């Protein structure tokens, strides 16, 4: 939703956990400050402190902030430099996506223990349709409470839940319930909930369309609902006008679509200072390949295509990709491929950003594995799986960088240094 909004208060009895949830089969569960909370779980000494996860360099961007940091104005997508200025005493941590993926899988399994109708939106949020679970687990609000209890007891994390007749309203509900809360929007009070909200609360209202609506004097969702469709079409266009008009009346017919698999998994880094040193670029590609490999293994997927993204100092962006004979989740293979793509590209300029991505994902347990000629039966993958296990127990930060940079440097007639 982007900008701050004034929603009905979570303590309002009209929308509290005891409100009438008949006709409210949709739950939206949103983990609270997920990345930061996972870091605090791994490092209990950080509990109660301001924690910021994201790029730690001068060009970095905040991915997640604990609520202690948010009190100082730190928000997701904010430049890290700005976050440091607002909250200089915060603990700033680089993201550990393998740990976040593992925690996400455990949380999503709790959801699937209730209903097979789970639609993940990202690592830290999902829609659930619990209409078929009522006989076994009780009414929707009871199910929401039990989910929150299990997530806290089994994972040491908190989440907020919105219970409503539709996906759109349930997501608004979980937003207002944060942090660590539960909000029910009864079917007969949806408009009572929606119409006082600012127009920015509606999905699809960005800054530009918000300004267009404000110029028309449409400040609340209720104002927009009463506006003539012709006026909306003139200001926003046919499709946007129809979409927002329907939402303003609480109409969202979309069903929960389970198991929307990720189409790709990637990682990228923006350098603090533009680089052209091949050794530094190799080390960076290695680190990115390790992140992608860990996330693939955590999600139980393999990728058939490896893509490389390069942004030069003049902001020119170039992408290259190569399809493998056999899908992989092994960092060594992705590193070898991305380095070969880079040397073939030979950008000849200083580099601002590098990215590695695995595409064409399939389930690992449904993909036959083949050994290349002369390849040992146990090797890089087993070493990386062992590193995953250690990271899950102790945190990725305590695991040293893998020594994948063996063999000869394709761009030099010498043995490369180890990272």
* Joined tokens for residue 112: 């699937």
- Count of residues making up the chain: 419
Backbone angles phi and psi of 202, in degrees to 5: -80, 135
Residue 45: other Cβ atoms inside 10 A: 8
DSSP per-residue string spanning 108-163: HHHHHHH-S-EEEEETTEEEEE-GGGHHHH-SHHHHHHHHHHHHHHHHS--EEEEE
193, 156 in Cβ contact below 8 A?
Answer: no
Contacts of 7 (CB under 8 A, 6+ apart): 172, 175, 176, 197, 201
Pairing of strands 51-54, 62-65: antiparallel
Cα distance between residue 317 and residue 292, in whole Å: 20
Q: Is 124 assigned to a binding site?
A: yes
Cα distance between residue 202 and residue 220, in whole Å: 10
- In whole angstroms, how large is the CA radius of gyration of the chain? 24
Strands (E), 202-300: 264-275
Contacts of 44 (CB under 8 A, 6+ apart): none
Task: Return the sign of the alpha-carbon dihedral for residues 200, 5, 51, 160.
Answer: negative
Query: Furthest-apart CA pair in the chain: how many Å?
Result: 74
Cα distance between residue 269 and residue 394, in whole Å: 24
Catalytic residues: 125
Cα distance between residue 167 and residue 24, in whole Å: 10
76, 1 in Cβ contact below 8 A?
Answer: no
Task: Return the sign of the alpha-carbon dihedral for residues 359, 364, 367, 368.
Answer: positive
* Joined tokens for residue 192: 């009572």
- The neighbouring-strand residues paired with 307 are 321, 357
Residue ranges for the known binding site for Mg(2+) are 30, 124
């Amino acid at each position: 939703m982007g900008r701050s909004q004034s929603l009905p208060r979570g303590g309002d009895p009209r929308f509290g956990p005891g409100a009438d949830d008949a006709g409210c089969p949709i739950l939206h569960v949103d983990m609270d400050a997920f990345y930061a909370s996972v870091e605090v779980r791994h490092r209990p000494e950080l509990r109660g402190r301001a924690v910021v996860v994201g790029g730690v360099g001068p060009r970095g961007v905040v991915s997640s902030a604990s609520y202690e940091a948010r009190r100082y104005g730190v928000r997701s997508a904010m430049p890290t430099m700005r976050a440091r200025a607002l909250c200089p005493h915060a603990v700033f941590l680089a993201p550990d996506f393998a740990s976040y993926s593992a925690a996400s899988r455990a949380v999503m399994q709790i959801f699937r223990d209730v209903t097979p109708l789970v639609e993940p939106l990202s690592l830290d949020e999902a829609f659930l349709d619990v209409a078929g679970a009522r006989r076994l687990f009780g009414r929707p609000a009871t199910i929401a409470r039990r989910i929150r209890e299990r997530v806290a007891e089994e994972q040491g994390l908190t989440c907020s839940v919105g219970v409503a007749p539709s996906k759109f309203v349930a997501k608004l509900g979980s937003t207002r319930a944060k942090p660590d809360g539960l909000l029910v929007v009864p079917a007969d009070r949806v408009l009572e909930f929606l119409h006082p909200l600012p127009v920015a609360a509606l999905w699809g209202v960005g800054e530009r369309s918000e300004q267009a609506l404000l110029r028309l004097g449409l400040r609340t969702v209720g104002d927009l609902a009463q506006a003539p469709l012709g006026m909306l079409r003139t200001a926003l266009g046919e499709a946007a006008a129809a979409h927002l008009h329907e939402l303003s009346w609480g109409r969202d017919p979309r069903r929960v679509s389970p198991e929307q698999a990720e189409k790709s998994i990637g990682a990228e880094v923006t350098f603090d200072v533009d680089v052209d040193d091949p050794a530094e670029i190799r080390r960076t590609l290695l680190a990115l390949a390790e992140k992608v490999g860990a996330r693939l293994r955590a999600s139980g997927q393999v990728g058939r295509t490896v893509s490389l993204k390069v942004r030069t100092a003049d902001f020119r962006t170039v992408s290259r990709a190569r399809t493998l004979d056999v899908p992989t989740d092994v960092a060594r293979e992705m590193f070898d491929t991305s380095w070969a793509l880079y040397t073939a590209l030979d950008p000849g300029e200083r580099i601002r950003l590098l990215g590695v991505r695995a595409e064409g994902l399939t389930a690992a347990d449904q993909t036959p594995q083949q050994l290349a000629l002369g390849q040992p039966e146990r090797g890089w993958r087993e070493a990386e799986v062992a590193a995953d296990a250690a990271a899950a127990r102790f945190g990725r930060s305590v695991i040293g960088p893998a020594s994948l940079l063996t063999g000869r440097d394709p761009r030099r007639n010498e043995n490369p240094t180890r990272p």
